[in-house]
Each structure stands twice: as C-alpha cells, then as structure tokens.
Amino acid sequence: MISPDDASLSARISRAVQRWPMLNPQEFEHLVTLAARFPPDEQLDSLMVLFVDPPENAYLAQEYAGQLLRRLKPPCPYPLDVLLQRVLPKWNRSIEQLPAYLVEIFGPAAVLQSLARLDETSAIDPEISATVRCWLRVQGDRPG
C-alpha cells in the first residue's frame, strides 16, 4: 500500500514540479499518457504517495496528482478509513481534487461516514476533516 519509495509516476511529477513553477498543461497531458500505461493500482499508489510523502513543492505536486486522480479515476482497493488516515495529514487543503476523487470513487455518504468515525477517534486533525467536508459541500453545489 502506498509507499514513499514508489518512483514511477510520482518521480515524473516531482521532476515537473522542479521544472515549472505552476501546472504545465502539456506536461499534464504527457503525464496522463504515461499514467495510462500503468495498471490502475500502480496509478493510484504513484499518485497517493505524493499526499503521503510530498516532495519539496507539495502544493504543485499534489495539484498534478489530484488532477490525474480526477482524470484517471483509478479504483481504490484500500479501506477508506485507512486511506484517509494516510493521505490527509500532509494533504494541502487547497487541493480540492482529492476530496472530489474520493467522492467519485466511494460516494459522498461513505466519505462523510468515514470522516465521522475518524473524528470520534481523533485519528485526524479536526481542521482537516472540516476542510474535506467543506470541499464536499462545494462539489455538491456544482452542476453535473
């Protein structure tokens, strides 16, 4: 499960972050093509590792990863509670694509129930949990 030593897609994103100061649309499309060559579980782990063990420019790396998660929608074999405990502590709360991806894969009710369980056990920071809920409301207000 999601290990920081995974160097495939995450390494390419780390290089893109060093090369450009903001998300580069051409590089992003190249990453989509590259990611499509990997099985879905490798896509997921390569992207989630950027939330678990972010590189120096965490915001931009997570922006790439979040956009790729939304585009590729790799299925997630991990229990939602475990996944949230792993990815949320170092998640940049400006990256709305992570909560949006979670809703697309697990559904809004499952994400909210998981957050409630984690809140009860103090497994994640309450501010992080509140931010995820905020993004879920924003996503719910958007058409289609």
SS (H, E, C) 42-107: HHHHHHHHHHHCCCCCHHHHHHHHHHHHHHHCCCCCCCHHHHHHHHCCCCCCCCCHHHHHHHHHHC
> How many other C-beta atoms can be found within 10 angstroms of the C-beta atom of residue 55?
17
Domain of 95 in residue numbering reads as 9-141
Tens place of pLDDT for every residue, the chain, 144 residues?
A: 444 344 478 888 998 999 999 999 999 999 999 999 899 999 999 999 999 999 889 999 999 999 999 999 999 999 999 999 999 999 999 999 999 999 999 999 999 999 999 999 988 999 999 999 999 987 665 544
At how many degrees (to 10) do helices 9-19 and 58-72 cross? 130
Residue 33 lies in a domain: yes
pLDDT (0 to 100) of residue 141:
54
Q: What is the count of structural domains for the chain?
A: 1
Tokens of 43: 């896509």
pLDDT (0 to 100) of residue 3:
42
Residue 96 lies in a domain: yes
Residue 4 lies in a domain: no
Residue 3 lies in a domain: no
Spatial CA neighbour of 101 closest among 144, 54, 141, 69? 69
pLDDT (0 to 100) of residue 140:
61
Residue 125 lies in a domain: yes
pLDDT (0 to 100) of residue 5:
40
